[in-house]
């Protein structure tokens, strides 16, 4: 269950534990001497276990919102919490810890390291956790199995299809066992069949209890979501029917 509002009005508390809570969040930055306001007074609550998609026109603030949710950036004003952590006030180190332990990222361009194998790429996501080598090996194997690439662990990204690369990226994100998986146009570089593969995988992960927040232009992705949001001119509204 997702609760959103525009600038004013009460926020109804969800009945399930809250993962993200945004209160009057705004973001302003300067780009080429122009002040840009991609987010203006956004209020949003995302409970655990939800599959949320964020749609909207290019430049509407989707990626900015995803970066705030991903602890990659801080809001200019407002309050943003992930569980008990106030991401708006957290130190760089605390943001880094949140990214390392609680948030998984999947990017449109996969962002795998080309010189490393699939296994090693997945392992890179576990690097900051300080796990034992055995635990890391076990998690990497599990994650690759989960995305159906157990037999491709020694392949480098260049030796894999786009869909397989995205699956490796998903394995890297889930190997750390995060509380939320944030995906920015995860099917943007894939053909239709590969897109469906990835969507099936994401849906399975959500059904297993993982919270998903996916930025997309693709209505096919949005149709799989339990909650659909639209971000336009810095403000957000719920378009779930």
Partner 1 sequence: MYFTYLRRELSGRTKQTVIVSAGLAIAIALVIIVNALTAGVRDAQTQALESVYGVGTDLTVAGAQQEPDERDDSRFEFDQDGGATADDGSTTLAQSQLRTEMGRGTLAAATISTISAIGGVSSATGALSLTNSTFSGELPQTTDGGTSTEGEAGTPPADGDQQGGGGFGGGSFDVESFTVLGVDPAVQAVGPLSSVTASEGRALDTGDAGQNVAVLDATYATTNDLAVGGTVDVGGTTMEIVGIVSSSSSDTDTASNIYIPLDVAQSLAGVGDVVSTVYVQATSADGIATVRDEIETALPDATVSSQSDLASTVSGSLSSATSLITSLGTWLSILVLAVAVVLAVLFTMSGVSRRTREFGTLKAIGWSNGRVIGQIAGESMVQGLIGGAIGLAIGLGGILAINVIAPTISSATAATEAGTSGRPGAGGPGFASAAQTATDITLSAPLTPWVLVAAVGLAVSAGLVAGAFGGWRAARLSPAEALRSVA
Which residues from 194-223 bind partner 1, rule CB under 8 A?
Answer: none
**Of 8-16, 49-57, 104-112, 195-203: span binding partner 1 (CB under 8 A):** 104-112
Task: Give the helix/strand (H/E) hosting 98.
Answer: helix 92-101
Quote the least distance from Cβ 214 to partner 1, whole Å. 16
From 11, 76, 85, 120, residue interacting with partner 1 (rule: CB under 8 A): 120
Contact between 59 and partner 1 by CB under 8 A: the answer reads no
- Buried residues in 33-54 as b, exposed as e (16+ CB within 10 A): eeeeebbbbbbbbbbbbbbbbb
Q: 108 to each of 24, 57, 92, 111, how far by Cα in Å?
A: 28, 16, 25, 8
From 76, 111, 141, 226, residue interacting with partner 1 (rule: CB under 8 A): 111
From 5, 21, 62, 99, residue interacting with partner 1 (rule: CB under 8 A): 99
Q: Which residues sit at the interface with partner 1, rule CB under 8 A?
A: 63, 67, 70, 72-73, 92-93, 96-97, 99-101, 104-105, 107-109, 111, 113-116, 120, 123-125, 127-129, 172-173, 176, 184
């Amino acid at each position: 269950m997702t609760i959103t509002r525009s600038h004013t009005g009460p926020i109804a508390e969800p009945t399930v534990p809250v993962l993200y809570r945004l209160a009057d969040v705004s973001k302003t930055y300067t780009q080429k001497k122009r002040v840009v306001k991609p987010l203006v007074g956004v209020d949003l609550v995302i409970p655990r276990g939800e599959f949320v998609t964020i749609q909207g026109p290019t430049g509407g603030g989707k990626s900015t919102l995803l970066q705030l949710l991903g602890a990659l950036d801080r809001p200019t004003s407002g309050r943003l919490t992930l569980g008990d952590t106030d991401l708006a006030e957290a130190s760089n180190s605390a943001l880094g810890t949140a990214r390392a332990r609680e948030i998984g990222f999947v990017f449109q361009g996969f962002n795998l390291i080309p010189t490393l194998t699939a296994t090693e790429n997945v392992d890179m996501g576990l690097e900051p956790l300080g796990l034992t080598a055995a635990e890391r090996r076990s998690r990497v194997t599990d994650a690759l199995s989960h995305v159906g690439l157990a037999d491709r662990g020694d392949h480098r990204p260049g030796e894999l299809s786009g869909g397989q690369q995205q699956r490796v990226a998903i394995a890297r994100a889930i190997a750390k066992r995060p509380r939320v998986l944030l995906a920015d146009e995860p099917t943007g570089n894939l053909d239709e069949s590969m897109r469906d593969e990835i969507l099936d995988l994401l849906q399975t992960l959500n059904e297993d209890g993982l919270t998903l927040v996916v930025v997309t232009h693709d209505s096919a992705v949005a149709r799989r979501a339990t909650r659909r949001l639209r971000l336009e001119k810095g403000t957000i509204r719920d378009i779930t029917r």
